[in-house]
Structure 1
Amino acid sequence: MEREGNSDPIPIDIILDILSRLSTNSIAKFGLASKFCGSILRGQDFTELFLITRPLSRPRLLFAVQNSDKWCLYSSPQSQFPDENHSLVVSADFHMELRRDMGQEIFGLVSGLLYFPNTRTGEVPVICNPSTGQYARLTQRSSMNNLSSLLGYDPIGKKYKVITPSSSHFDPENILTLGTGKVAWRSIRCLVDHYPESEGICINGVLYYMASNKFQFSGVKIASFNVRYETLKFLNADVDVTFCPALAKLINYKGKLCVLSCLWDNQIYPKPLRWKVLMLWLWVLEDAEKEEWLKREYTLPVNIVHGNVSVVGVTATGEIILSMDYTSESFFVYYFNPERNTLEKVEIQGFEGSEKNLSSRVYTFVDYAEDVKFI
């Protein structure tokens, strides 16, 4: 007996399985070419299947190079077992280009997405997925005030949220939830008017950032925002560096919040040498409930780290990663192991001196991995 009409549709689980085996670039193209595929690829079922079917890849370093007219994104393998006995050379893989008007600065890599806050009048924040090449401009707030905003992620609800720390009385629109189908700013009550003094770091669903308000509290405090429950508190941090946020950076230290400060010092060695050494101070939040901090201090091995460098993060095994801030003929990343007091120097090739005779700003992020989240 012949079957009349159209053949039976392909089961959705087979479609999911086929799509999950494609490259991230192909997945992105399917998502943009078809509304049906786009709806499937945006589902949590596909995201979870993609992670299951892919072999566990090693974390990578992500580089965002800010040229005069564009952003260029690259990534390279992140060293897993640094060896102080030799220097390594690795190649950076090109990901994508973005127009310079995407933003003037980047506020972190949050669960696979880059965030451009764009605080200039008339501009709107932009989020970007380096794996798929997709980006989106967020909706404009009705308020005329362009305040600094931050991106957080709720790993339980699987939601990204943009917050603009501000006074609920003067600026009621201060939070935006992504991925709900309805993109609109709304209000949450903020009892203390404050302003971010640093980019945020999101750890286990809590967004931390340094904040100030010269009218309500002195110095700088560390704000703790629960992304899921949308609650805010300030930590009682006995951290000297919070009074000088320009020298400090918030990082993820083995799943814990860490305030890190670094300073060049040329007074340690006698005058004939005058070697500059890099001093590192770390305040680790050992117990978030009791708000107990542990201070650590390190001096990097001498005469190895040169030029403008910044601490960009910590590996899962505890190596502190430093990266050069600008492109040059030779671009280096450094891995410092505080337990063994060793320093590995790795040369990154592929984007050095991307603009002839010009030095471009480089933003470096640790623990980057492929992610197929659709915006």
Structure 2
Amino acid sequence: MKSLRLNVSEDRQTIHGRHSRPSNSINATVENISIDVMMDIFSRLSSKSIATCRCVSKLWVSILGIPYFTELFLTKSCALPRLLFVCHKDSELIVFSTPQPTNPYENSSPLAATYHMKIPFGRYCDNIRPIHGLVFIQNEQRFKLASVICNPTTRQTLTLPKPKTRKRLHILSYFGYHPMEKQFKVLSMTERDGISVEHQVLTLGAKKLSWRMIECCIPHCPKFEGICINGVLYYRAFVDISSNIFMIVCFDVRSEKFSFIKATEPFIIEAKLINYNGKLGLVMSEGRQYISGKRRRFEMWVLKDSEKHGWIKNTYELPPLWQYGITVELLHFVGVTGTTNEIVFSPTYLADLFYVLYYSFQRKTIRVVEIQGMGGSKKKNWVQMFIDHVEDVRLM
């Protein structure tokens, strides 16, 4: 706390020195208000209002750019998580968000989606991962693979440099964040004959974005989604392309070291990876990552001990969906909320009536939340939903 106050004091002196002679009445009035009070006021505003305030004066831009303020705003945002939606429409990815319902005991009123931004979309885009306010997107445009980091709150995008590779090999990337170091990293792997042969890391925030080669002790074949939990990036892989032996790869974002959880249980390769109260969880229904009106039973495994590879299994069954007016054929697993400890389901495609489901593990009940404002379509435009998204007003 002492160092934090010192940094704020230094920032205050820098700002006052930079704007010691107010050029207009707004700055003159602001000079009579302490920086601490102004940051407290700004932290109570919405992210949209913060963007407007940045247009008022250079003094306000300086205050809103202080690292202490951006961390203060982010801390308050973490207490008010949001639902994030990435929709595919007409060769574009459209990003929306809504407040995340916090009352687990009743169905909430319809939530109005807030539009954030559009991102050009290529031939395919099956790697989207939001972490701590930023969203990593890997897609193909004009037969070229591109990785983009976007901030839905500030509507900024950052195109990452291409990983170093001598030949045109398949590239698979994962997005990670370490909460103690407050550091974002991208792990990228190039594959030859299905096996990862080059492992590279890019650290966001560096003056010059560049890839660094790192060593991996065990060759493997990464093929599946990843998830970052408490500074550890998890993804699934085969030992080799012709083997039925698979594993969960653990990549420590801070140390950049690999470890592995070997397994023969089929659920590890079939299930969806989720964050269950800070632990790695896997969930599936009869070998699939979705439920339907007929297939309402699902299993969830939680990693109890990463060293001993111990898992805890629980089985659940949803009440009949028709009781809640649910007619959609498929509902995909999204994750377990950190605030209400409910598992969330979402449709695959946009529709005029779009809703998400929350299932309570304790009460064995469902609540339905309608999402409005994303627009339906006659085409089957897919949508991916993410929970516990936070707003970050830091400029990239």
Shorter-chain TM-score category?
A: 0.7 to 0.9
Q: Residue 158 and residue 275 in structure 1: after superposition, are their counterparts in 2 closer, same or farther (change >3 A)?
A: closer
1:145 Cα deviation from its structure 2 partner: 2.1
1:90 aligned residue: 111
Q: Where does 1:6-155 land on structure 2 (aligned, <5 Å)?
A: 8-10=17-19, 14=35, 17=39, 23-25=46-48, 27=50, 44-51=67-74, 54=76, 57-83=79-105, 88-101=109-122, 104-118=125-139, 121-143=143-165, 144-155=168-179
Residue by residue over 1:296-321, the C-alpha shift from the partner in whole angstroms, topping out at 9 and shown as x without a partner, is: 11111123353221111101232000
Residue segments in structure 2 that go unaligned for 5+ positions in a row: 1-15, 21-30
Are 1:218 and 2:244 matched, yes or no? yes
Q: Which amino acid aligns with 1:339?
A: Q
1:158-187 CA-partner distances (Å, limit 9, x unpaired): 111111235799854511111111211111
The letter of the residue matching 2:315 is E
Tell me the CA shift for residue 142 of structure 1. 3.1
Does structure 2 retain, via aligned residues, the 8 Å contact 1:253–1:284? yes
Residues 227 and 34 (structure 1), Cα distance of their counterparts in 2 relative to 1, 3 Å cut: farther
Residue 315 of structure 1 is matched in structure 2 by: 337
Look up the SS of the partner of 2:216 in the other structure. coil
Change (3 A) 1:22 1:145: farther
| Structure 1 residue 102 displacement after superposition | 10
- CA RMSD of the aligned region, Å? 3.5
Contact map agreement 1:141 1:173 (CA 8 A) in 2: no
How big is each residue's C-alpha offset from its partner over 1:184-208, in whole Å with a ceiling of 9 and x where there is no partner? 1111101222233222111110001
Alignment-mate amino acid for residue 221 of structure 2: Y
Answer yes or no: is 1:367 the counterpart of 2:391: no
Higher helix proportion, which one? 2
CA distance in 1, matches of 2:379, 2:255: 46
- The unaligned stretches of length 5 or more in structure 1 are 1-6, 266-273
Tell me the residue number matched to 2:282.
Answer: 259
Indicate how the Cα distance of structure 1 residues 352 and 308 shifts in structure 2: closer, same or farther if over 3 A, else same: farther
What CA deviation, in whole Å up to 9, does each residue of 1:303-346 have, x standing for no partner? 33532211111012320000111011211200011221111122
Looking at structure 1, the residues matched to 241 and 278 of structure 2 have their Cα atoms a distance apart, in angstroms, of: 33
Cα deviation digits, residues 15-70 of structure 1 (max 9, x gap) = 98386566534655888999999898666434223346x57752221111110232
Contact 2:86–2:94 at 8 Å: present in 1 too?
yes
CA 1:43 to 1:205, structure 2 compared with 1: closer, same or farther past 3 Å? farther
1:190 partnered with 2:216: yes
Partners of 2:77 and 2:390 within 8 A in 1: no
Distance 1:334 1:40, change over 3 A: same
Q: Distance in 1 between matches of 2:73 and 2:123?
A: 28
Q: Following TM superposition, by how much is the alpha carbon of 1:234 offset from its aligned partner in structure 2, in angstroms?
A: 0.9
Larger deviation, residues 37-46 vs 317-326 = 37-46
- The match for 2:254 is 228
> Is the 8 Å Cα contact of residues 190 and 232 (structure 1) preserved in structure 2?
yes
Contact kept, 8 Å, 2:298 with 2:317, in 1: the verdict is: yes
Choose from 180, 204, 212 the match for 1:156. 180
Q: Which moved more, 1:188-197 or 1:316-325?
A: 188-197
Q: In structure 1, what is the Cα distance between the partners aligned to 2:267 and 2:321? A: 26
Q: C-alpha separation between the residues in 1 aligned to 2:394 and 2:245?
A: 38
The answer for the alignment partner of 2:301 in structure 1 is 283
Distance change in 2, residues 1:341/1:188 (3 Å): same
Note closer, same or farther for the CA distance 1:91–1:192 as it changes in structure 2 (3 Å cut).
same
- Alignment CA distance shift 1:339-1:10 (3 Å): same
Against the structure 1 CA distance between its residues 341 and 228, is the aligned structure 2 distance closer, same or farther, given a 3 Å change threshold? same
Cα gap change, 1:200/1:33 in structure 2, threshold over 3 Å: closer, same or farther? farther
1:131 to partner: Cα distance: 0.9
What is the TM-score when the length of structure 2 is the normalising length? 0.78
Distance 1:196 1:103, change over 3 A: same
Return closer, same or farther for 1:159/1:10 CA change in 2, 3 Å cut-off.
same
Distance (Å, rounded) in 2 between the aligned partners of 1:62 and 1:371: 13
Could you state the TM-score of these two structures normalised by the residue count of structure 1? 0.82
CA distance in 1, matches of 2:44, 2:108: 36
Work out the CA distance in 1 between the residues paired with 2:374 and 2:228: 28
Match of 1:4 in 2: none
